[in-house]
Every structure is written in structure tokens, then in C-alpha cells.
Amino acid sequence: MKTFSVGVSAVIPAPRSLLATGEGYVLTEATTVVFTPDDGEVARIATEFAADLRRWTGLAVPVTVPAAATGATGIRIELLPELGLAREGYTLDAAPGGVILRASTAEGLFRGSQTLRQICTDSAIPGVRIADEPRFAWRGTMLDVARHFFSVDDVKRYIDEIAYYKLNVLHLHLSDDQGWRVEIAARPRLAEVGGACEVGGGPGGFYTREEYADLVAHATARYLTVVPEIDMPGHTNAALVAYPEIAPEGYLTEHFTGTEVGFSNFDVANPATDEFVDAVIGELAAMTPGPYLHIGGDEVMKLTPEEFGGFVRRTIATVERHGKVAIGWDEVARAGAPSSTVVQFWRTHPDQDFLAPIREAAARGSKIVMSPGSRTYLDMKYDESTELGQDWAGLISVRHAYEWDPAELLGEVPDGALLGVEAPLWTETVTTLAEIEFMAFPRLTGIAEVGWSAASSRDWDGYRTRLAAHEARWDALGISHGAV
């Protein structure tokens, strides 16, 4: 993607500290990108940044390691573990004599290189001193590829767009009533049959194992962890159409193109269901380099609490047996999920009835991801005039998505229990990449800042001013977006 400067005073998410120092580093034909040490990841980050700069400025921007770069002038990218910066932290200094980006991990360098991309103009890198690190470890977005299917290329482009805002988790909702979206070799009918449907009756689709691996690699290269979700035991109509033997007795197995929820579930008393779950989770775990596997668990309406709880606990044990950490929608907190399970809060805000079990889970040791429907749901309409989207969790203006605090909402929990924030985009009404972008930007930008920036630094008026520069960039790059 082409670089487009938003200016030194418009970085989103706002850095921990940023001091504009005036005169900056002027880009010339002599400008080089120098990286150290001579390490594969550092080289890749330096090379990609230089390529971006080249596209943007038309300058040659050679990339070298220091030994080869005698007399080189320009941009230094330095991995210095001994600095002891936070995992994703970095420092950035730009002055007439040159630019230095430093971090203690390659991930920190990558995050810092996004700041550099934001502030760099076609002729200079403005004078600045930045010291930055995130507030929360989990800054995510979820894309529902089940209600409508999106191609690998579309998802890759979206990944590029969100990495620019230092998001680090892409949660893929890979299965629902309308479609199953990833090939599982041990259960081939899931993708072949379960994948051939979507909301509204379109053809659907699925990612082959190779395509899924390609998608994950694209995300990993941008330091985004892919968290795959297989939603169980409800939201499972597509799986049941493919494998009717694990449906409850009398269940009518037919493709579903509507948008109602709560009508489907596995036959949780059938041993074949546990075998099915083990096969799916085992294969998906082996295909997924990240530590997490999402088991869904939401909106199960036809099972008793005992049936639901038993299934959830067995499924979490299966996830753990395959070496992953389980995460589930907040219903799992009431189902006796062990403290190793991450709980994702999704209810409207503030709903104390739903928050109490989340706080109790946190008190028992579970980590919490906050996705309050009334703040983070990117499928909610901006206002009454928004054509796309729903409104069951309320209307969510750009300001409303920005002006809230996850710690304040969650309330008293042990230190470290709040892992971070995630903005889900359900796609019942969303059918194209342009529509994804329209619903995500600029609300997801605000969630990125909620997750990254210090609570004390957040202020709507300042944020809104910074956002204007990003809107201009989206317009220049053809990224669609809502209005502030």
C-alpha cells in the first residue's frame, strides 16, 4: 500500500509520548535504510519499510546492514533486546542528522515502522521524539466470514489496513448457521457442503488448507495473531447439513440463508459429536501458529445449562489437549470454564447482569477481552441513516465507539485480568470489502486507540482532529469509510 502522510501530530493510536522537535530529516537520493543486527525479521521489516518509502518518494532507498553501509545516511532500524522495552514498544527519533527506530523485539520494530509510515511525507521525516508502548496486549477485530464469505485477497487487504493502526489480533469467525469456511481434511463435507451457502442465498465459499495457511502467513508477517473460531455447540447449522449424524433427533438439515439465531445445536449427548469436535479442533490447531482457538459458545437456546456446560468443558479440554488456549463468548463464564479460558464479553453496555459472571471469572483467574456490543460492534449502524448494519445493540457513532474505557466498564478485577479489546464485525448485511471498510473505519481506528493509548491521553476533540488526516488518506487510497 502506498504511504500517505497523516503528519506528525495525527498519529493513531496516540503514542505514549510524542514531542515534535521541529526540523526533521530530509529524504534525498543518498537516503538509505540501515538495519541491525543482520537478522531475518529485522531485514524484512527494514526492506518492507524501504519499499514503501520508494513507492512513495521515487527515491532509490537502498537497504543495508551497517558493515556494508559506510557513510550511509538516513534511517536506522535497530533491534536492541538489552534496552528492555515492552514487547511491542519502540522509540523513534527523527532529526536533521537522521532517523533512529529502536525496539527490543522485531514486533516492536514493526509497530514503530507503522508510526514511521504515518508521519513520513514524500520529502522528509519531521523532527520528533517518540517513546511508545501499548496499554493492552490484545487489540483485535473479528471478521465474520461465515454469514458472507470474503476472498483471501479481500481479507489480506483488510489485514494491511488494520496493521497500520497497530491492531495485533484478527479473530476469524469461520463457521455459523449459514456457512463453514475452512477445509478440514478429516471431515471434507464441512467445506464442500457446509461452505456452499451464505446469507441471502449466494454461493458462499471456503478457504482450502493452503489458502488458510497463506492468510495466516500474511497476518503473521504483520504481527497479527489469527484466532480462528469454530462456533459451537450452537450456530452450527452448516456443520449439521454436512454431517446430519451429529444433529439432534428430528433436526431438519437444510441450508440456511436467513439471519435468525438460536435454532441449531449439536447433539451433545452423542459420542460422535465429541469425536467430530476432536477431529476439527486437532486439525485447526495444527494449522494455526497462534496460541488461541475460539470455541464460540454464544446464543445456545435449546440445551439445558447442564448439557451446555458439559459440552463447553469437554471442548475446552479438547482445545487444551491440542496445545491451545481456549477462548469463548461470555456464556462460557457461566458454564464452568476453567480459569485457563479467555472470556470475551459481548453484551450491551453497561449490563450488570452480564458483567457479574465476567468479573467472577476474572477473580478465578480468567483473562477477559472486552467487546461490549454497544461500543465495539462494527455491524451496528452509525446512525438512523446508515443503510448497512443492525441496531439491536444501539447506534454507534464514531464518538461513541471512542469515548469509553474497558477497565472502567469491567470494574474491579485482579491486575492483569483485562487482556484487551476487540471489535467484531458480523456480516449479515455486509457483502463486500468496501462495505467492511465502511463499517470499520473510522470506528475501528477508535477501538485501536482505546486498546493502545494511555487512558489519560484520550480526548475526543484531539482525536477527531487527528482523524481528519486519516480520512484524507483513506480517500486518497480508495479505502471506503463512514463519516465522523
Residues labelled catalytic = 299
Minimum CB distance to ligand TNX smaller for 147 or for 218: 147
* Residues of span 427-456 touching ligand TNX by CB under 6 A: 428
Q: Which residue has the cell 523532527?
A: 127
Handedness of CA 483, 393, 236, 178 (dihedral sign): negative
Q: How far is the CB of 177 from ligand TNX (least distance, A)?
A: 9
| Range 381-389, long-range pairs (CB < 8 A, 24+ positions) | 382/443, 382/482, 382/483, 386/482, 388/429, 388/430, 388/435, 388/438, 388/439, 389/429, 389/430, 389/439
The answer to whether 346 contacts ligand TNX (rule: CB under 6 A) is: yes
Provide the minimum distance between the beta carbon of 19 and ligand TNX in the complex, in angstroms, as a whole number: 41
Edge-to-edge strand list for the sheet holding 31-36:
17-26, 124-132, 90-95, 98-103, 73-79, 31-36, 63-64
Least distance to ligand TNX, CB of residue 474, Å: 24
Q: Is 390 in the site for ligand TNX (CB under 6 A)?
A: yes
198 near ligand TNX, rule: CB under 6 A: no
With CB under 6 A as the contact rule, the residue among 52, 107, 267, 379 that binds ligand TNX is 379
Question: Cell numbers of 245, please?
Answer: 449424524
426 is an interface residue for ligand TNX by CB under 6 A: yes
Residue 367: count of CB within 10 angstroms of its CB: 22
- Does position 329 bind ligand TNX by CB under 6 A? yes
Rounded Cα gap, residues 184 and 94, in angstroms: 49
Query: Which residues are CB-neighbours of 51 under 8 A, at least 6 positions away?
Result: none
> Would you report the helix, strand and coil content of the chain in percent, each value rounded to 5?
40, 20, 40
Please tell me whether residue 382 binds ligand TNX under the rule CB under 6 A.
no
- Binding pattern for the stretch 256-275 against ligand TNX, x by CB under 6 A and - elsewhere: -----x--------------
Q: Is 391 a residue that touches ligand TNX (CB under 6 A)? A: no
Interface with ligand TNX, residue 298, by CB under 6 A? yes
- Closest among 166, 192, 56, 43 to 114, alpha carbons compared: 166
Phi, psi angles (nearest 5°) of residue 43: -60, -40
Q: Is 165 in the site for ligand TNX (CB under 6 A)?
A: no
| 20 three-class SS | strand
Stretch 210-249: interaction string toward ligand TNX, x if CB under 6 A? ----------------------------------------
Smallest separation (angstroms) from ligand TNX to the CB of 169: 16
C-beta closer to ligand TNX: residue 56 or 346: 346
CB of 168 to ligand TNX, least distance (A): 21
- For residue 430, count CB atoms less than 10 angstroms from its CB and return exposed for 0-12, middle for 13-18, buried for 19 or more: buried
Please say which residue, 4 or 150, places its beta carbon nearer to ligand TNX. Answer: 150
According to the binding rule CB under 6 A, does residue 395 interact with ligand TNX? no
| Distance in Å, CB of 426 to ligand TNX, minimum | 3
Q: Which residues bind ligand TNX (CB under 6 A)?
A: 261, 298-299, 329, 346, 377, 379, 390, 426, 428
